[in-house]
Structure 1
Amino acid sequence: MDGKTVRMNRILRSGKAVIVPMDHGVSEGPIAGIIDMNRAVSLVERGGASAVLVHKGIIRSLKTPPSCGMIMHISAGTKYAEDKNKKVIVSCVDQAVRLGADALSVHVNIGGSASEPDMMEELGKIADDCDATGMPLLVMAYARGKNVTSSPLEIAHAARVAGELGADIVKCPYTGDIKSMKLVVDSCPVPVVIAGGPKCEDDIDVLRMVDDAMTAGAIGISLGRNIFQHETPDLMTAALRSLIVDGVSVEDASEILKENLIGPVLSMHRAEIEALR
């Protein structure tokens, strides 16, 4: 037993991940679902998230510490940047320790950005710092750039890079089918969680995607918009947790979304969103 193992158990449930990233405020701005971060975190926490993933300023601003795990993201870049695939490091492992985070997260894009070597170098250094302090490291690894198309083989390559350079968990997109996703999982030396991508209109599609990823060997999810922009983020979190941690069927998980028993619905703050446009 060591510090990394103890902290890893705080962001997982029975070895499975129900992680809700809410770092989008930096890259996208105050989008629907994460305008009121205290409420957003409270809802997914109530639904059974194993961890939330946020930037350091959000950790400081929360009124109460969440009962689930807390992952501090230290990569940043906005949608307005000339090179949208470039992510810069905006904090460090020591700050994550000071703020009480249970794990660290960085984002790396592989595939043609001029900043790719810098991101890989930074990842290697951060992984070493995480090992030295016993801090788990989640790496968001994407095949993005002028030289890639985000094919399954390219997704597998990006995941492999993250695993070889020191990640403890790798986050990557779902490839679209079980067979190719299994290649990603089998060829990555550390556990894999899938990203959610754009908001889906049909809940059952999200549940089936996650179920297929679990069949392929993933340990869970790191889904943002498909949870925090859902009409009932708490129920969506609960449905996904039941599928991932409890192993229920897609059909049984979907029934949770019909119950509406967990708590209040997250307001989308439509008036506030319109005022920001």
Structure 2
Amino acid sequence: MKQARMMRLFGTSGNCFDVAIDHGMFNEHSFLGGIEDMRHAIEVVAEARPDAIQLPPGTAPILQSRPGKDRPALVLRTDIANVYGTPLPRRLFSAVIDRAVEQAVRLDAACAVVNLLMLPDEPEVYEACIRNINRLKPACDDAGMPLMIEPLVMQDNSKGGYMVDGNIDKILSLVRQAVELGADIIKSDPCDDPQEYHRVIQIAQGVPVLVRGGGKVSDREILSRTRVLMEQGARGIVYGRNVIHHADPAAMTAALMAIVHDGASTEDAMARLG
């Protein structure tokens, strides 16, 4: 059953484009731009037919109630954390939703996703993430549910809010830990130099790596970066704000799908944006 679910994500070309629309789970107002109306946001993205859409349990039924056989697969967000604001709250946490794998099965998800957060001087959050993963892994295996682990190395929030740390040495060690904890799929940040990303692919030991998009950047930057990351061996991408905050989310989805599945050049992908 796990392999069948993996095929729903990677079956078209062996690669996957997952559009993340789970930002409302984290109680951060700045994350809500473009997704104030979730029904509309999901409809627009689903019509563009990426391989998957990443959603929390509260809004996943919107996707799963779409008629027809060609709707994107569901990747279910299973955890919630309060680590994105500035300043940070007095007490930080990371917690898994109750009966997470049962909810994933009930919602017909193809995958469950959970964070592995590394924040400066916040070992309690990191420890909580380890506990979350250790709870989910055997339950996912029992249910035949692929587990996507999201190793996320963050900078100090006081530097300007939610910012990832592109230091490849930090990324490598956290990705490898996610693999050793039993990840079926890795969702990892790009490093500062995308040309080095083959090192992340190598350290993942054959576990497929999907690359996070991070903050909103220009069209050309996100497309050219995606092209390089795919050339480096990534098996796909998980982008949110670079799709949902775009003036034409459907066109951006089509452009990124062309790179992920067809090996399109940056210029060919740009042409799809008009």
Q: Compute the TM-score of the two structures, normalised by the length of structure 2.
A: 0.86
Instruction: Look up the match of 2:15.
Output: 16
With over 3 angstroms needed to count, the CA separation of the structure-2 counterparts of 1:144 and 1:83, relative to structure 1, is farther
With over 3 angstroms needed to count, the CA separation of the structure-2 counterparts of 1:138 and 1:84, relative to structure 1, is farther
Gaps of 5+ in 2: 157-163
TM-superposed CA distance for 1:65, in Å, is: 3.2
SS of structure 2 residue aligned to 1:198: coil
Distance (whole Å) between structure 1 residues aligned to residue 252 and residue 146 of structure 2? 26
Could you tell me which of 183, 199, 216 is aligned with 2:216? 199
With over 3 angstroms needed to count, the CA separation of the structure-2 counterparts of 1:84 and 1:240, relative to structure 1, is farther
Q: Compute the TM-score of the two structures, normalised by the length of structure 1.
A: 0.85
Q: Deviations over 1:238-267 (max 9, x none)?
A: 000001101111111110000xxxxxxxxx
SS of structure 1 residue aligned to 2:224: helix
Alignment of 1:28-67 (within 5 A): 28-29=28-29, 31-62=32-63, 64-65=65-66, 67=71
With over 3 angstroms needed to count, the CA separation of the structure-2 counterparts of 1:44 and 1:84, relative to structure 1, is farther
**Number of corresponding residues:** 254
Distance (whole Å) between structure 1 residues aligned to residue 192 and residue 22 of structure 2? 24
Could you tell me which of 112, 115, 119 is aligned with 2:125? 115
Letter of the 1:65 counterpart: R
SS of structure 1 residue aligned to 2:117: strand
Distance (whole Å) between structure 1 residues aligned to residue 116 and residue 103 of structure 2? 20
TM-superposed CA distance for 1:149, in Å, is: 4.9
Q: CA RMSD in A?
A: 2.1
Distance (whole Å) between structure 1 residues aligned to residue 65 and residue 229 of structure 2? 33
Gaps of 5+ in 1: 259-277
TM-superposed CA distance for 1:177, in Å, is: 2.3
TM-superposed CA distance for 1:188, in Å, is: 0.8
Instruction: Look up the match of 1:94.
Output: 102
Letter of the 1:18 counterpart: F
Q: Deviations over 1:62-113 (max 9, x none)?
A: 5833711001101112345526874211131011111221110101113542
Instruction: Look up the match of 2:224.
Output: 208
TM-superposed CA distance for 1:34, in Å, is: 1.0
Does residue 154 (structure 1) correspond to residue 158 (structure 2)? The answer is no
Letter of the 1:197 counterpart: G
Letter of the 1:244 counterpart: V
